[in-house]
Amino acid sequence: MDEFVIKGGNKLSGSISVNGAKNSALKILAASILSKEKCKITNFPIIEDTLRTVELLESLGAKAVIDKENKIVEIDPSQINKTDLDTNLVRRLRSSILFAGPMLARFGEVQMDHPGGCIIGKRPVDFFLDGFEKLGAKIKFTEEGFKLHGKLKGATIFFPQITVTGTEAMMMAAVLAEGKTILQNCAMEPEIPVLAEYLNKCGAKISGAGTSTIEIEGVKEIGGGEFKVIPDRIETGTFVMMGLLTGSEIKVENCIPEHLGAVISILEKAGAKLEIGPDYIITKPSKLKAVSIVTHEYPGFVTDLQPPYTLLMTQADGPCIIHESIFEGRLFFTDQLATMGAEIIMCDPHRVVVHGPTPLHGKKMTSPDLRAGITLVLAGMIAEGTTRIENIYQVDRGYEKIEERLQKIGADIKRVKE
C-alpha cells in the first residue's frame, strides 16, 4: 500500500486548479442507467470512486470508454443485462445505492448488498428503502442486503431528514415512474439541480430541483446526453484552507465561489483575507481568530469541509466549538491531530472544543476516511518534521494525483510505494 511522506513548513505559491466534483460525476454515472442511449461526461474527475463506479456499470454489461488525459468518459448503457450488483464494488462504494433507483425504474428489479464506503457514521439506507416502497417497489431482505422489484408509480415522499443521495435517488427513480411524484424536505446541494438539468435535457420532466420541493412528471423513456461536471466545491474549500494554513498566497482556480457562501463567510469572520473573483479565490497570509461552527445541509457549512476547518482552528487564536451535526463518526480523526500536538477535547461524538494556536509535529498516521485523510495531509504540510500517512487509498478516492498538484505549488510531499 502506498503512503505519503510529507516534510512540513514550506510556503506555497502559484495556482491550483479545481477538478470536476466527485459527488456530481457519481450521480450522472448512475443516471446513465435510465436511458438506452449514450451518455458523455466531460471534466470527469479521474479518482478511485468514479473509476470504481464505472467498473460497477461495466459489471452490469454497460460499455465505457475513459479518456483519462482529456477527462472524458462515455457510457453506453444499452447492453446492461444484469440486475444484481457486484458485491465487492458495492461494499466499497456508499454511492452504489444510487444505482438502485435507475435499475428499478428501467428494469423493474435490482439486488444489492448493503453499501459500504466512508466510515463516518452509521449511514443507513432506510430513507431509500422507504422511498422506493412508496413508489410501489416490494422489498425482500437477503442475507447481506436486499432485493427490490415492481413497477414504479408516482407518489408523495416526505424525507424525515434531509438526505443528499436520498433526494437524488428518488428523483432518478421517479423519472420513469407512471404519473407525478412530489418530493418534500429535499436536499438543495448544487449537485442536485445540475443532475435535474441533465435529466431534463435527456427528456425528463423535473421542476423545483435546488429547492426543498421537487416535482417529477414521469415519462416513458429518456434519451442520452452530454454533461460537463461542475467544479468540486469541497476541493475548492480544502485548497483555500490549505492556503490559509500555510500562510501563503495561492490562487484556487476554476471554481464556483458561490457554492461556498457559508464557508467563505465563516473564514472571513475568522479574519481570512480572501480575494474572490467569478471563478477563483486567492488566499492571503492572514492572522486568524477562532470561530465556532455547526455543520449544516446546503446552503449551510458543509460537513465535508469540517475536518480541514477543525485543523485550521488549531492554528487560530482562542477556543471554539466544532459541532458536526450530520455524521456521528466524523470527529474521531481529531485524536490524530491531538497526537500531533493540537489541543482538542471531545465533548461527545458530535462536538469537540479546539484551543489554538498550537504548533504541530510530524507523526506516522493512518487516513481513516477521505476528508479526514486530506486533512492529515494538510496537517503534515504545516507540522514540524516529517509526517507519514498510510491508507492513502482513502485520499485517492476523492483527490486526483494530489501529491503532483501540491508539489507544483511548493509542497514537499512524496508518494512512497511499499
Stretch that binds ligand EPU, among 115-123, 141-149, 278-286, 360-368 (CB under 6 A): 115-123
Examine residue 278 and tell whether it contacts ligand EPU (CB under 6 A): no
- Please state whether beta strands 280-284 and 318-323 pair in parallel, antiparallel, or not at all (unpaired): unpaired
Q: Is 118 a catalytic residue?
A: yes
Total interface residues for ligand EPU by CB under 6 A: 26
Asked if 125 interacts with ligand EPU (CB under 6 A), we say yes
Q: Which of 39, 118, 186, 202 is catalytic?
A: 118
> Are the C-beta atoms of residues 330 and 121 closer than 8 Å to each other?
yes
Binding flags for ligand EPU, 58-77, as an x/- string (CB under 6 A): --------------------
3-state SS class at 92: helix
Neighbours of 116 (CB within 10 A): 15
Residue 159 Cβ vs ligand EPU, minimum distance, rounded to whole Å:
9
- Binding ligand EPU by CB under 6 A: which of 10, 23, 32, 181? 23
Question: Within a 13 Å sphere around the CA of 248, how many CA atoms are in the beta-carbon half?
Answer: 25
CB count within 10 Å of CB 294 equals: 15
304 binds ligand EPU (CB under 6 A): yes
Report the alpha-carbon distance of residue 197 to residue 199 in Å, rounded.
6
Report phi then psi at 107, rounded to 5: -110, -10
- If one asks whether residue 310 binds ligand EPU (CB under 6 A), the answer comes out as no
Which H or E element spans position 414? strand 412-416
By CB under 6 A, residue 327 contacts ligand EPU: yes
| Nearest residue (CB) to ligand EPU, 8 versus 373 | 373
The helix or strand, by DSSP H or E, that contains position 238, with its residue range, turns out to be: helix 233-245
Nine-digit cell at 201?
435535457
Q: C-beta of 1: minimal distance to ligand EPU in Å?
A: 20
Determine, following the binding rule CB under 6 A, whether residue 163 of this chain makes contact with ligand EPU.
yes
367 interacts with ligand EPU by CB under 6 A: no
Q: Which of 28, 118, 272, 337 binds ligand EPU (CB under 6 A)?
A: 118
Nearest one of 279, 282, 396 to 22, comparing CA atoms? 396
* Cβ nearer to ligand EPU, comparing 12 with 337: 337
Please state, in angstroms and rounded to a whole number, the distance separating the CA atoms of residues 334 and 291: 17
**Site residues for ligand EPU per CB under 6 A:** 22-23, 26, 94-95, 118, 121-128, 161, 163-166, 187, 303-304, 326-327, 370-371
Active site residues: 118
